[in-house]
Each structure stands twice: as C-alpha cells, then as structure tokens.
Amino acid sequence: MTSLPTSTDKKLGLVIDLDICVGCHACAVNCKEWNSGGHSAPMTDRDPYGAEPSGVWFNRIHTYEVTNDRDAGQSRTVHFPRSCLHCEEPACVTVCPTGASYKRAEDGIVLVNADTCIGCKLCSWACPYGAREFDEDDGVMKKCTLCIDKIYNENLDETDRVPACVATCPAGARHFGDLGDDSSDVSRMVAERGGYDLLPDMGYKPVNKYLPPRPRRAPQQETDTAATPGESGSDVASFLGWVDRMLSR
C-alpha cells in the first residue's frame, strides 16, 4: 500500500561524514557487489565493456569544489556519496500507482516490490535525490534496500549486520543506525556535529543525515608560524616549528 505508515518503530538510516569521505567509491562498488546477489538482484549493466557503459547503481559518489571569497585562492574539495535517504515523507512511495513502492512500518526502510512494479518511472520523477534507477532489462525500478538482506541476516556475525557501504568504507565515513532513537550512536553523532538534511525545503524529511566538513584551520595561523623563522633567526627553531606543525596536523 502506498499510503505511508503514520509512524515507524525505528528510523534506520545512514549518517555520512563529509569531513572524512575520501571519495574512493569503495562503498559504491561493495554496494553493487552485495546487491548483485541480494533483494533487488540483478543490478543490470548494459554495454559494460563498451564505450558507453551504463548500469544500475544504488550509490553515486560526487565530488564538489567549494570556494569562498574570504579565503581567496583556497578551495575545499568535498567528496559526496549520494544514495536513498529513506525519507519520512517519501513522495516516491505515494505516487506509485500499484503499491509496489512501500515504506516499512517497522524500520522505515523504503523498498520496491519487483513483482508488482509496472516500470512507469513516476517514482524516479518524484525523488529529488536521484535515489531510484530504472533497470532496462528487468523493466522495473530499483533502489537502495539499506541491505535489508544483510542487516537482519542471522547467518552473519552481528558486527557484519550493517549495510555493505558501511562495512566497506576504509575511512569510517559511513555509519548505520536508528535515527529515531535519540540515544543511538548515529543520533548522538548528528547532534554533536550538526548533521543536516539535503534539500530540507522539499519537505521529504530525509532520515539519512550528512555531517558537514569540519571548519578549516584559519589560514592566518599558518602565515604567523611561517613568519617565525625570520623572527627567531634560528634554523633549529624553524626546524622544530616545522616538526610541530607536521605532528599537530
């Protein structure tokens, strides 16, 4: 049924730390790997070895440049993983004419039933985040399942019961948990770091949160320390200053 649950027992989702993400695409690759045998398998590729490969992926890693007049000439590079945010008000679910799209009342995960999806693509139009990708071969819509077949899988060790993207991230930039529980690790992380919603004005109330990059050290400080060698006039002092700067990074 495409009517949304009035509330969900849990709000399972991801917290993505943009301060840490190094843009290695490992999450996207492991997501593809796990889900190629999972709930929404296969994740079809077309022309995979040709000139124009195109396929279904649940994770896409963008990279942005942020420039600011205040620190002229300096820009910040931010790697930005994008996947389904498992919104509390997912229009992708309510627009679905068949009931194939649904939001689970028990944990808030948004899923597609591939047996009843007619492939009208309207859900992908309704999602501002580009979370849904159409499988041309299967003729149905596919999306992130939050690794539903992994997080509840009792054949796995408990530590492995996290989404594939979280399990594989070498930098620890992705976290999984219940964002409806204020005392959970992920909720605390969001509170401490000022985790935010993407496109909040759209009103979809995403469950997934993004942690902003930490403020950069003031460039003023660096010029100050760079000036010290001249002032002290000692090579030893300037070497120690350099060691100090390197170690305190």
- The single-letter code of the amino acid at 21 is C
C-alpha span between 173 and 165 (Å, rounded): 10
Grouping H, G, I as helix, E, B as strand and the rest as coil, residue 133 is strand
Q: Judged by CB, which is closer to another protein: 7, or 68?
A: 68
Q: Judged by CB, which is closer to another protein: 151, or 165?
A: 165
CB of 190 to another protein, least distance (A): 13
Q: Judged by CB, which is closer to another protein: 69, or 231?
A: 69
Instruction: Note the Cα 151 to chain centre separation in Å.
Output: 17
What is the chain's Cα-based Rg? Answer: 22
Instruction: Note the Cα 88 to chain centre separation in Å.
Output: 16
CB of 234 to another protein, least distance (A): 38
The answer to whether 170 and 26 are in contact (CB under 8 A) is: yes
CB of 221 to another protein, least distance (A): 18
Cβ neighbours, 10 Å, residue 223: 9
CB of 116 to another protein, least distance (A): 6
CB of 229 to another protein, least distance (A): 32
C-alpha span between 91 and 81 (Å, rounded): 21
CB of 180 to another protein, least distance (A): 21
The answer to whether 105 and 9 are in contact (CB under 8 A) is: yes
Q: Judged by CB, which is closer to another protein: 33, or 136?
A: 136
Q: Judged by CB, which is closer to another protein: 77, or 232?
A: 77
Q: Judged by CB, which is closer to another protein: 15, or 151?
A: 15
Cβ neighbours, 10 Å, residue 24: 15
C-alpha span between 100 and 124 (Å, rounded): 13
CB of 45 to another protein, least distance (A): 11
C-alpha span between 106 and 148 (Å, rounded): 12
Residue with token string 């995960």 = 109
Which residues face 232 on adjacent strands? none
Q: Judged by CB, which is closer to another protein: 65, or 154?
A: 65
